[in-house]
Amino acid sequence: MKTFADLTSYNKYLNLSSPLHPLMDSRVCKQAIPNFPQTSGEIQVNLFKVSLKKNFTGDINYGYNKYHTENGLMLFSEPGQVVSWESLTFWDGYAFVFHPDLIKQHPIASKIKQYKYFSYEINDALFMTAQEEEIITWLFTRIHMELTENKANANSNVILSLLNTVLSYADVFYERQFKNKAVAPVTILSKVKMVLRDYYKDLSTPVKSLPTVSFVAQKLSISADYLTELLRSEAGKSTSRVIHEFIVEQAEILLFQTNMTVSEIAHQLGFANLPYFSRFFKNVKGVSPTDSRNLGKV
C-alpha cells in the first residue's frame, strides 16, 4: 500500500501541480478532480484534509448509504486514514490539505484532537443547510485566496485562524445534525438494539464472542465515533454502555428463566471466563449474577 507523508508526493499521485505552500495546499474541486486517477487502490495519507463539496445533482452515494442533498457537505480526515476509490463523482467546492507540522506550534493543535469528526468515515459526512454552506464557502474562499495570492509566503496565522473558525462551525453544525437524527422515525438507539437482538437471537446457542462497538457500527454502516456521538445526543449513553446493558438484559433472561449455571450463562453470551462475566455484570447492575438470581427469587 502506498503511503504519502508530504504534499508534493500526494499531489503528484493525484496528477496535480506542486502544492502552493510546503505545508499546506488548497484546491478548487471542479478544477482538480478531472486530473485525479479514475481508480485507486488503498493508499494511506498522513496529512489532514478538510473539504467542502457542493453543487451535487440528484442522489449521491457515500460509503454504504445513498443521500439526496440540495446543499453542500463537508468531510474531514486525519493522518493515517486509508482511502480508495473506483470511480469519481464530480463536484464543486474546496479541499484544504495540510501537514501536521503546520499546526505543531499553534493552539489549534490541541483543539483539533477534540474534534472527533476527523475520525468519522465517509458516510458520516456533515450535511449542511443552505445558510451553513454559505458560511463555510466564504471561509474556504478566504483560505484559498490567501494561499493562491501569496503561496509560500502565505500568512499561516491568518489561514489557521480561518481554519479554526471552519472547525468550530463544523462542531456546531454536527450537533444540529445529531439532533436531527435523534428525532428520526427509527432512532439510532432502536437500530443499535435491533443489531444486538439479531446477534443474540437464539439464547439457546452460545456465541463466540461479545459484540463490540466496531461490530455494531459496521452493521449500521457508520463509524464507531459517529455512532457514539449520535447515541450520546439521543440517549445520553455511549455505545459501549448500550451494548453492556443489553448483554446484561440477556443474562437476566437466562438467570431468571433457566436452570443454567452462572458459568454456563457466561459461556452462552460470549464471555471468555466466569470472573470477567461477574465483573461485567456487577459493573452494570451493582450486584453479582448470583445475587441477582437470588434476589429475583425473593
The confidence score (pLDDT) of residue 42 equals: 87
The confidence score (pLDDT) of residue 66 equals: 52
Would you say the pTM of this structure is higher than 0.75?
no
Cell of 186: 427509527
The confidence score (pLDDT) of residue 63 equals: 45
The separation between the first and the last C-alpha atoms of the chain, rounded to the nearest angstrom, is: 61
The confidence score (pLDDT) of residue 21 equals: 97
Per-residue model confidence as pLDDT tens digits over 122-171: 668 898 988 999 999 999 999 999 999 999 999 999 999 999 999 999 99
Q: How large a percentage of the chain has pLDDT more than 90?
A: 61
Mean pLDDT, residues 84-94 taken together: 78
d(CA 90, CA 107): 35
d(CA 297, CA 255): 10
Indicate whether 10 pLDDT > 70.
Answer: yes
pLDDT grade for 62, boundaries at 50, 70 and 90: very low
Antiparallel, parallel or unpaired: β 2-4 and 81-85 = unpaired
Q: Across 57-61, 80-84, 93-97, 199-203, which has the greatest mean pLDDT? A: 93-97
Mark out the alpha helices in the chain (DSSP H runs): 7-13, 29-32, 108-112, 130-150, 156-182, 188-199, 213-219, 224-235, 239-257, 262-269, 274-285, 289-297
